[in-house]
Amino acid sequence: MQISLLQCQSSRDVKANLAFVDSQLKDLPRDANEPQLVVLPECCLLFGGHESQQLEFAGSQHQSDLKNALAAMAKQYQVYFIAGTIPMRADDGRVFSRCYFFDDHGITLGHYDKLHLFDVEVSDGTKTYRESDTFHPGDHITIVDTPFGKVGLAICYDIRFGDMFRALRLAGADYIALPSAFTKVTGEAHWQVLLQARAIETQCYLLGAGQWGQHNQGSRETWGHSMIVDPWGRVIAERATECGWVQAKVDLTELRRIRQQMPVIGHNRFIAPQLK
């Protein structure tokens, strides 16, 4: 199977972001005979929009223009599609940061709402991040069963919470996709080491698709360095800067070998908390 991560420089212009994703999928380097898993970054269609804009484009249980557009792309380009994140309305007036997973016919296989919200102080131009002002946290983990293995879903800040990744592994994950928009400051310090640590701990492929560069006239800057990390912690593909594809061909033979030779899940004597 081929895995393709798209590194983006998304903005508040939803139409422009949609057009960019579509143009990249049109030119996706691929073997027509191989299954293709595509992962978009966090906030792929709306990056940095204030609360009112998030609500303007937020979908509901019954209708989402952004979801429909992404599902149509999955069908048109015949890819399994982890479609970054889009806003979906919550009952309290906020929105969920939701990641949808579509099959190559555009059918929804599952979705995940970001559990851990980025309420932190960072030494950059933005300084204070308060995702919880706009976003409502999710309440469950998600594993999607596919013809090429089981895929766990996580989003950006989730990667700092090892218990969640252990729960994904215990639920059967072979791959863990991580649509992200790490800040330049936190990304430079922690992005790669966290991806490698989670891959080693879970013995899964980690698929970190990131945003990169200056967004919205420089009001935000993200780290990029989208990468695919194998279950031994090796970076097997990376794009440090600029927009475009990060690709690698993988199968589960190596994963099974590593888990057989070092069965850490069976050796662990601590019980991880289970998310309901």
Give the list of residues 6+ apart from residue 113 with CB closer than 8 angstroms, or none. Answer: 88, 96, 97, 98, 99, 136, 137, 138, 139, 140
Catalytic residue among 8, 42, 44, 67: 42
Distances (CA, A) of 133 to 93, 95, 243: 10, 10, 29
DSSP annotation of 2? E
Q: Distance between CA 181 and CA 226 in Å, rounded?
A: 10
Catalytic residue among 44, 99, 156, 204: 156
Task: Give me the numbers of helices (H) and strands (E) for the chain, helices first please.
Answer: 8, 17
Among residues 60, 56, 76, 77, the alpha carbon closest in space to that of 4 is found at 77
Q: What are phi and psi of 157, to 5 degrees?
A: -60, -25
Among residues 165, 158, 77, 193, the alpha carbon closest in space to that of 69 is found at 77
**Strand order from edge to edge, sheet including 235-239:** 142-146, 149-153, 175-179, 205-209, 226-229, 235-239
Q: Distance between CA 93 and CA 97 in Å, rounded?
A: 13
- Beta strands 226-229 and 149-153 are unpaired
Catalytic residue among 44, 67, 99, 114: 114
Q: Does the annotation mark 156 as catalytic?
A: yes
Give the list of residues 6+ apart from residue 27 with CB closer than 8 angstroms, or none. Answer: none
Q: Does the annotation mark 114 as catalytic?
A: yes
Active site residues: 42, 114, 156
